[in-house]
């Protein structure tokens, strides 16, 4: 699987009673594909994977795979701080038809770099599904260092990294150490364009839930070397990128999708709670300025 372009880190819509809203999920998938997205990533942190049951996790992945129907690749979030559970979730994703798996680095345990390496290697070798590792120290309390990424890049089946460490120097070191067949993609929307400029191959994006065509075009322009057009879109979307992270993701994102009429319920699972009034008003103003409204 080629990890290049813009992949949307999908929300998981819920009904007001807290159950999965698979109808809205299917509609989101169709809209994303129609808008030209390159791939879909269900059950990541944006998809509130931490509060999905194992059965719901499999159901969401299978539903996205079925609706996508092979038109775009599906990378299933299958991470856990338990290596055994990560293997099981990845095997379930493979059986559901996912094209690859995205695994967050183990959180809370705070493993050493050697522990991180063996965690990912075990999942890749056991589950037999192309694996994308995920560096996000803000959620995990540990960083996948460039030297460790380079080790992992040599493990068969590990195809890339979603980099959300917020450090362009570390990202540059990673890019310098991995081979051309290993993809580095951005996991921080406001840094996607700078990362593309130093050699990243795309993004796994939160903002593309709201503006899939424009985020995809920004990435495509940069990859083709047209940085003038890419910069124009980057600055057009910058306020939106920031507004979507004014509270913990996906709190603002689900509010935005409801404002746009893309999901009927702004339903979150505890411990996430609805957006604060002042922040929601700020988000609404950004959406109005971008002329993003109900379909």
Report CA 160 to chain centroid distance, whole Å: 13
> Considering only CA atoms, which of 125, 126, 158 is closest in space to residue 135?
158
- Using CA of residue 167, residue 81, residue 91, residue 46, what is the dihedral sign? negative
Q: Which two tokens stand for residue 242?
A: 């920031």
Q: In what order do the strands lie in the sheet with 183-186?
A: 39-41, 5-9, 202-205, 183-186, 158-163, 131-135, 100-104, 75-77
Compute the distance between CA of residue 137 and CA of residue 158 in angstroms, rounded to an integer. Answer: 20
Annotated active-site residue in 120, 134, 170, 221: 134
Alpha helices in the chain (DSSP H): 22-34, 54-68, 83-95, 113-127, 137-140, 146-153, 168-177, 192-197, 212-223, 227-243, 251-260, 277-289
Reply yes or no on whether 110 is catalytic.
no
Compute the distance between CA of residue 243 and CA of residue 120 in angstroms, rounded to an integer. Answer: 33
Q: Which two tokens stand for residue 131?
A: 């694996």
Query: Do 102 and 136 contact (CB within 8 A), yes or no?
Result: no
Reply yes or no on whether 221 is catalytic.
no
Annotated active-site residue in 162, 170, 221, 254: 162
Question: Which run of H or of E encompasses 76?
Answer: strand 75-77
What amino acid positions are annotated as catalytic residues?
134, 162
């Amino acid at each position: 699987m080629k990890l290049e372009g813009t992949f949307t880190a999908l929300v998981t819509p819920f009904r007001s009673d807290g159950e999965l809203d698979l109808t809205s999920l299917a509609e989101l998938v169709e809209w994303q594909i129609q808008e030209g997205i390159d791939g879909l990533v269900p059950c990541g942190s944006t998809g509130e994977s931490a509060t999905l049951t194992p059965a719901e996790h499999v159901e969401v992945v299978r539903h996205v795979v079925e609706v996508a129907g092979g038109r775009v690749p599906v990378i299933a979030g299958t991470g856990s701080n338990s290596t055994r559970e990560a293997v099981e979730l990845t095997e379930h994703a493979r059986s559901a038809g996912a094209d690859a798996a995205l695994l967050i680095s183990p959180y809370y345990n705070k493993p050493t770099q050697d522990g991180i390496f063996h965690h990912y290697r075990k999942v890749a070798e056991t589950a037999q599904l192309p694996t994308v590792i995920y560096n996000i120290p803000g959620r995990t309390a540990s960083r996948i260092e460039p030297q460790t990424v380079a080790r992992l890049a040599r493990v068969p089946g590990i195809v890339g990294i979603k980099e959300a460490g917020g450090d362009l120097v570390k990202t540059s070191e990673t890019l310098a150490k991995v081979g051309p067949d290993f993809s580095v993609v951005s996991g921080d929307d406001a840094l996607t364009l700078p990362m593309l400029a130093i050699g990243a191959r795309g993004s796994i994006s939160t903002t593309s839930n709201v503006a899939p065509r424009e985020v995809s075009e920004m990435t495509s322009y940069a990859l083709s070397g047209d940085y003038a057009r890419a910069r124009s879109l980057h600055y057009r979307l910058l306020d939106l990128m920031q507004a979507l992270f004014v509270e913990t993701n996906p709190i603002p994102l689900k509010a935005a999708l409801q404002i746009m009429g893309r999901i009927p319920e702004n339903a979150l699972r505890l411990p996430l709670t609805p957006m604060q009034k002042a922040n929601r008003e700020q988000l609404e103003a950004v959406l109005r300025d971008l002329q993003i409204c109900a379909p």
